Amino acid sequence: MILVHRLLYFSLCALFFIVGDLYAKNSDDSIRPFYEYKGNYGKEVESKKTKFKSTFGYNLVDMGRNWSPIEIDIVHAAFNQLPPSFHKIPSLKSIYRLDKIILNAENSSGEDIPAATLPSFSTIYENTSQSYSVFVQKQELRVELYNPLFHEKQVDLINIIQHEMAHAFDFSKGFLSFSDEWISLTNFKVLHIFALDGVRDSDSLFALVNDPKVNNYAPTALRNVSTYSRQNPQEDFANSVTAYIHYPYFRYTHPARYKYLKKNVFNGKEYFLNDPNVNSFEEKVNSDLEKSLNNGAWGDVNTILIELSRSYFPELEQKIINRIKKALGTMSVSQEKDKTLTLATCYLMQPEGLKLRKNLIRSGRISVKQILNDPQCFRYARDTFEKKLTKWSPSNLYFYQDLGRGFIQFVDPVLATAHVRGFDTEYLWKIFFEEEGRVILAEGSSFFRNGGNGSIKIDLMKSATRDFNFPEGKILRIELMAKRTHPTNFKSFESERTGARFIIQPWFSYIGPNPPKVRVNFPLSMLKNTH
């Protein structure tokens, strides 16, 4: 289980790359070179390492892969954007350059993971003290950068580095992401995970899970999926830090997070000016959009929709689609306007955006080639979705009981994209007796027609095809898959299955207090360097 939590800790960066593959990267991505050049540049590297150490306080260490001058320059640029509080963190000594992450044999090779922050930790509910405890492994605090990172575009590369440094900063402060204040303002709930040994007084794991009713957790980078901040408070914190630096609408979409980070992380430093004339995110977007359309600043419209796409705002998106339709229909035709506004709609999550693009193609105002040459439009293309995305299974599957009823909760990173393509999603589940030849105890389905934020909670009793009772004291297995079906062309695709083991005991309580009091335990050797 420790390994599971370790993987959760650095899995955002894994998803950066995985999602890139699933979305079928631009044709240039597969041949993008490392940020390196030929020749003997040992003295130049050492000089740049020395400058980096003196400026930020960290060693740049070769470990299986040597740093190149260009790589150091890019990392230097990423650190220049970070506040001074991220420089010279006492418990962080080095940033390592490796070929790839080293995982245990039972896991994947890690070939696609661009970066990671260690050490790992485990989350344990201690029965004896009735406390929620985080146990940090006795490992050096370190940031590791791998080959896949240096195949990224520079803007994404910098974002990933800063994301990892946010994890390191979080660690150095004793885990702000486990604090009462952060858990409360981000709406994570504590969930007990029953120990499969079935012993009443044994310790169990706990997880902090997102609230499906809350639309927006921290906004994400464009190479990422909107559900990723829902994985755990650590990823939500790291994504919030990068959003604070890079995304101008963050202060309007997530004012509580912004205020917290400004005070506790950035010491008052801000990267974007506040607009005193607006009181809400919707006002800000509508104001900026009208100015851009009226001034013919089509590129600015594209920028606005990029920021909008980092979270989930279906009602606002619908209004914007109607406004763009009006702009395209009433204004004089121009190639620049048609192309820029059409490509901007690729950042909208509502199916009407896709319909608008199709209509413009049919009328000859934009070509299919122009659409597919844009990375974001290409990610939502039919072949990309049908051949790759639909196979991606839901993740973060949890079973729990609440008020005597059984529930599953999970995240579906593909839900929004399926909605863009006009597909409905149905979740199919089965529960087996694991030790009795996979005899099906129960099965059912739940239908989602209108898209959503990607966080799903299903009542097993309500969605079951027939009545059933959970047997107590037996190890059960639940398997879940997503089925995407188009309502008009009747195409249907099924994801891979994801599963989880669980056991029902009448005395076990799944739902913990809100918010939980989490205590972080550091090895003695780390305490002197950790606040």
Q: What is the pLDDT of residues 271-292, one digit of tens each?
A: 999 888 888 999 999 999 999 9
Residue 309 vs residue 409, higher pLDDT: 409
Give me the mean pLDDT over the 98-120 stretch: 79
Residue 378 has pLDDT above 90, yes or no: no
Report the C-alpha gap between 59 and 26 in whole angstroms: 34
Coil, helix or strand at residue 415: helix
Which pLDDT does position 249 carry in this prediction?
95
255: in domain: no
Residue 151, pLDDT above cutoff 50: yes
Lowest mean pLDDT among 12-21, 75-84, 493-502: 12-21
Is position 442 within any domain? yes
Q: Are 401 and 362 part of one and the same domain?
A: no
Give the position of tokens 């009433």: 330
Q: Are 346 and 490 in a shared domain? A: no
- C-beta of residue 445 within 8 angstroms of C-beta of residue 456: no
The reply to whether 17 falls in a domain is yes
Same domain, 336 and 451: no
Please report which confidence band the pLDDT of residue 16 belongs to, taking 50, 70 and 90 as the band edges. Answer: very low
**Is 147 inside any structural domain?**
yes
Residue pLDDT, tens place only, 212-262: 999 889 998 876 677 889 999 999 999 999 999 999 999 999 999 999 999
When the pLDDT of each residue in the chain is averaged and rounded to a whole number, the result is 87
Mean of pLDDT values over 119-134: 93
Instruction: Give yes or no for a contact between 492 and 389, defined as CB atoms under 8 angstroms apart.
Output: no
pLDDT tier, 104 (very low <50, low <70, confident <90, very high otherwise): low
Predicted pLDDT of residue 168: 97
CB atoms within 10 A of CB 42: 9
131, 165, 399 from 527: Cα distances, Å: 20, 19, 36
In a domain, 414, yes or no: yes
Q: How far apart are CA 481 and CA 498, in angstroms?
A: 7
Q: What is the CATH number of the domain that holds 496?
A: 2.60.40.10
More confident residue, 189 or 329: 189
Number of domains in the chain: 3
288 and 407 housed in the same domain:
no
Mean pLDDT over residues 366-389, rounded?
86
Higher pLDDT, residue 74 or 19: 74
* Measured distance CA(174)–CA(178) in Å, rounded: 8
Candidate from 38-47, 98-107, 305-314, 419-428 with smallest mean pLDDT: 98-107
Residue 49 lies in a domain: yes
pLDDT at 27 over 70: no
Cis peptide before 375 (omega within 30 of 0): no
**Distance from C-alpha of 429 to C-alpha of 315, rounded to nearest angstrom:** 31
Q: Which residue has the tokens 């995110």?
A: 281
Q: What is the mean pLDDT of residues 195-217?
A: 89
Average pLDDT over residues 20-27: 37
**Can you give the pTM of this predicted structure?**
0.90
374 and 445, same domain (yes or no) = no
81 and 112 housed in the same domain: yes
The answer to the question of residue 140 being in a domain is: yes
Mean pLDDT of 377-406: 90
pLDDT value of residue 6: 35
Among the candidates 142, 173, 204, a domain finishes at: 173
| 443 has a pLDDT exceeding 70 | yes
Give yes or no for residue 500 having a pLDDT over 50. yes
Q: What does the pLDDT read at residue 10?
A: 37
Backbone angles phi, psi at 142, to 5 degrees: -155, 150
Question: What's residue 9's pLDDT?
Answer: 38
- Confidence band for 128, pLDDT divided at 50, 70 and 90: confident
Q: Which of 361, 381, 401 is the last residue of a domain?
A: 381
* Per-residue pLDDT, 226: 75
CB neighbour list of residue 45: distance below 8 Å, 6 or more residues apart: 66, 67, 68, 69, 72
Q: Are residues 335 and 393 in the same domain?
A: no
Residue 413 maps to a domain = yes
- Pair 94, 153 in one domain: yes
Query: How confident is residue 19, by pLDDT bands cut at 50, 70 and 90?
Result: very low
Question: Residue 396: is its pLDDT beyond 80?
Answer: yes
Cβ(506)–Cβ(472) under 8 Å? Answer: yes
The structure tokens 């509580």 sit at 256
Residue among 108, 51, 117, 107 at smallest CA distance from 80: 51
Least confident residue range of 138-147, 191-200, 339-348: 191-200
One domain for residues 293 and 419? no
**Residue 363 burial class via C-beta count within 10 angstroms: exposed 0-12, middle 13-18, buried 19 and up:** exposed
Among 86-90, 184-188, 369-373, 439-443, which stretch is predicted with the lowest mean pLDDT?
A: 369-373
* 424 and 278 belong to one structural domain: no
Task: Indicate whether 475 pLDDT > 50.
Answer: yes
Place of tokens 């990607």: 454
Residue 38 confidence (pLDDT): 61
For the chain, percent of residues with pLDDT exceeding 90: 60
Helix, coil or strand: residue 440: strand
Residue 424: domain span: 389-503
pLDDT above 80: residue 7? no
Residue 13 has a pLDDT of: 39
Per-residue pLDDT at 8 exceeds 60: no
State the average pLDDT over residues 356-362: 88
If you count them, how many residues does the chain have?
531
Query: Does 395 lie in the same domain as 418?
Result: yes
Phi and psi at 76, nearest 5°, equal -60, -45
Last residue of one domain, picked from the residues 324, 346, 381: 381
